[in-house]
Chain A
Amino acid sequence: MLEIKDLHVSVGEREILKGLTLSVKAGEVAAIMGPNGTGKSTLSYVIAGREGYEATTGDVRLNGENILDLDPAERAAKGVFLAFQYPVEIPGVATMTFLKAALNAQRRARGEPELQTPEFMKRVKEAAASLGIAQDMLRRPLNAGFSGGEKKRMEILQMALLQPRLAILDETDSGLDIDALRVVADGVNALRSPERAFIVITHYQRLLEYIRPDSVHVMAQGRIMRSGGPELALELEERGYQDYIAQEAA
């Protein structure tokens, strides 16, 4: 599904990703763990296509296609979804209006017919109900004045609606209490499928108790330092990231 090879990325003058290589298969849930400031969010931005996060060398392929030259909207239409660590507030734009615009823009880009309002409403309502999102929240401006938990749930609602091929969850657990974490994790688990891949970025092992990963990758100093199975997360929880930071210094 996703193949990243020797990726170098600079933001401004600073090189953040320094030869990152990662492969995620369809149906796989890959966890990326690592200390603060190692470029985890940068990786998510590069995959999603954020301006200012340009690859100097390397390759990012989605189902065999190099996506680095595509703009964010084109990548989204091809199935890339980023659940933001800090979802952005959009005053004046009703959540429902935004959801419909996004879904239909993707459908248009893929040459699919736009969804008409009744069918769209049905899908939104179902997804909202399963995530415990009240109807009146959908009429409010997107994320404006939402609590941290509400914003994260709204990210999962968008994911459920847009049905991406590759979903990147950037610190989706941050700022969530245990109940909200469970709701969000249930939402993610419900979307797991053999055709869909997930990259779950987190500091803590806690989220991975709810979203069980197939693979765990340790990221430090702009690279994947080690890859393994779910047991690697437990080891990290016990020993911390000191080994990887020390390794770099040596």
Chain B
Amino acid sequence: MIKLASEAEATLSSFYEEMRDKGAPRLRAAGWASFSESGVPNRRVESWHYTDLKTAMGRPAPLATASRAALSLPRAHDSLRLVTLDGVFRPDLSDIARLPDGVVAQSLRDALAQGEPHVLSALASADIGAQDPILALNAALMQDGVVIQIAPGAAIDRAIELATLASAESAQSTYTRALVMLGEGARATMIETLGALSSAPAQDNSALVLRLAPGARLELVTHFSGGVDQAIRVASLLAHLDAGAMINSFALIEGEGLNRRQIFARLDGENAKAVFNGATLGRGRLHADTTLIMDHAKPCGESREVFRNILDDQSVGVFQGKVIVRPGAQKTDGVMQSKALLLSEQAAMNNKPELEIFADDVQCGHGATCGRLDKDQLFYLTARGLPRREAEALLIEGFANEAMDAIEDEQLRAFLSDRVSAWLSRRISR
């Protein structure tokens, strides 16, 4: 039957045995079958060429079994927080009772136990992202997470934070999945926080599934932080946009370890609009991979991707972006741009932009560059009195700002600017 090639896959198989009867059996079985075809991806798998997960993972860390009891979590912004800690949704650490009218949240575990068909089908990632083994593995092994439903027409002003955190003192694996369904015309702002509170090398596989009904609008800020050298974090974002829906998203990746953010987005209705921007602040041996598939399935869609990789020390950046325009998706307008700034001799960037266009009346473009700080700009700033390191910091900040320009929520924008400033201050002071 299925031939499992390695010790890693044998361990994962034992995880599957543990999880297969924990709700949504068909979804899990489909995920496991899909994963088993390819196993943990190595460099020979094209979409994983720059991130050798198999080597990094080695033998998978044990499946997380317990979530730390009491914990005080600092708040970085004024948001309503929903916390998944060590693979378990934690109502006690979450602001469930304070959620505004029009927002209903429950744990994934409860949602799977209830088994409502519309939730189960929304959770599945059968169409986009179906080819990705790690996303399939997430479906097979999902332990917990959160399911949020936002009522049609609801306008949620206060940001809702989905925090997925690791706190265990020894290495463990977590598989979490969150689902956010925005009803017709609903509007919301969300923060996806992926962080580590301990120095154990966690192996976290998370997925966030977004379903935007016609006319729904979502602003999403994602923040990767924390981690240690040996930690692995793969976070998948699946976004389905119906007609006239809009997503405006920005991700900041910092911290350490191996990080991969994969975005599978599909414009399933006409006149949908998607913005996926991001910036990476690389230091130490951070490995930050952003892999994106932007799928235009219906006419008159618009997509924008602006990525900025700032790479110091031995950090490595990866950007793989593919824009697909399906037959019939006429009047598609897509622009994808990835720029990298290398701040040290050892830093490296891998850029791989692609277009696959099967319609004839479209406007699509992409650009990718990789370079160092500009000497003319540096001289100009230092000649005005800025010490060298401060001049560099200002240029780096400006470079990052270009990807942050589209963020509308001022509080989130300020939060991200502060993160960039903190990263730069550390660079100036050492």
Contacts and interface: CB of A to CB of B under 8 A. Distances in A.
A185 B255 CA distance: 51
B379 interface: yes
B383 A72 contact: yes
A12 B64 CA distance: 61
Interface string B224-259: 000000000000000000000000000000000000
A198 B97 CA distance: 68
A93 B374 CA distance: 14
B388 interface: yes
Contacts of B398: 90-93, 141
Given A90-B395, A92-B397, A102 B385 contact: yes
Contacts of B377: 88, 90
A192 interface: no
Given A73-B388, A101-B394, A48 B383 contact: yes
Contact of B383 (A76, A92, A98): A76
Interface string A67-102: 000011101110011101001101111000110011
Interface of B is mostly: helix
Interface in B367-419: 374-377, 379-388, 390-391, 394-395, 397-402
Contact of A93 (B379, B387, B395): B395
Given A101-B390, A105-B390, A141-B398, A90 B381 contact: yes
B384 A102 contact: yes
A98 B388 contact: no
Contacts of A84: 380
Contacts of A101: 386, 390, 394
Interface string A135-169: 00000010000000000000000100010000000
A179 to B, nearest CB: 26
A73 B391 CA distance: 10
Contacts of A76: 382-385
B379 A50 contact: yes
Contact of B385 (A77, A92, A141): A77
Contacts of B385: 73, 76-77, 102-103, 105-106, 109, 162
A104 to B, nearest CB: 9
B382 A71 contact: yes
A77 B387 CA distance: 10
A119 interface: no
Interface residues of A, number: 31
Contacts of A243: none
Nearest to B402: A92
A77 B394 CA distance: 18
Nearest to A77: B385
Contact of A88 (B380, B386, B388, B401): B380
Given A50-B379, A88-B380, A73 B387 contact: yes
B389 to A, nearest CB: 10
Interface residues of B, number: 24
A49 interface: yes
Contacts of B379: 48, 50-51, 72, 88
A93 B394 CA distance: 7
A123 to B, nearest CB: 15
Contacts of B382: 49, 71-73, 76
A73 B376 contact: no
A250 B59 CA distance: 81
B420 to A, nearest CB: 11
A88 B385 CA distance: 15
Nearest to B374: A88
Residue from the set A75, A80, A102 with the largest chain B CB neighbour count within 10 Å? A102
A101 to B, nearest CB: 6
Contacts of A102: 381, 384-386
Interface string B75-93: 0000000000000000000
B79 to A, nearest CB: 26
B380 A90 contact: yes
A102 B385 CA distance: 5
Interface in A155-205: 158, 162
A84 B38 CA distance: 59
A117 to B, nearest CB: 16
A93 B386 CA distance: 14
A73 B376 CA distance: 14
Nearest to B380: A88
Interface in B5-44: none
Contacts of B397: 92-93
Nearest to A45: B379
Interface string B89-101: 0000000000000
A158 B398 CA distance: 19
Contact of A92 (B381, B391, B400): B400
Contacts of B402: 91-92
Nearest to B405: A92
B369 to A, nearest CB: 13
Contacts of A49: 382-383
A103 B390 CA distance: 13
A81 B388 CA distance: 16
Interface string A104-145: 011001000000000000000000000000000000010000
A87 B386 contact: no
A89 to B, nearest CB: 8
Contacts of A162: 384-385
Residue from the set A51, A73, A106, A109 with the largest chain B CB neighbour count within 10 Å? A73
Given A93-B398, A98-B384, 15 more contacts: A71-B388, A72-B382, A73-B383, A73-B387, A73-B388, A76-B383, A76-B384, A91-B399, A92-B397, A92-B400, A101-B394, A102-B384, A105-B384, A105-B385, A105-B390
Q: What 8 A-B pairs come out closest when comparing CB atoms?
A: A92-B398, A76-B385, A93-B398, A106-B385, A72-B382, A92-B401, A102-B384, A88-B380
24 contacts: A49-B383, A50-B379, A50-B383, A51-B375, A51-B379, A71-B382, A73-B386, A73-B391, A77-B385, A80-B383, A87-B380, A88-B374, A88-B376, A88-B377, A90-B377, A91-B398, A91-B399, A93-B394, A102-B386, A105-B384, A105-B390, A109-B385, A158-B384, A162-B385
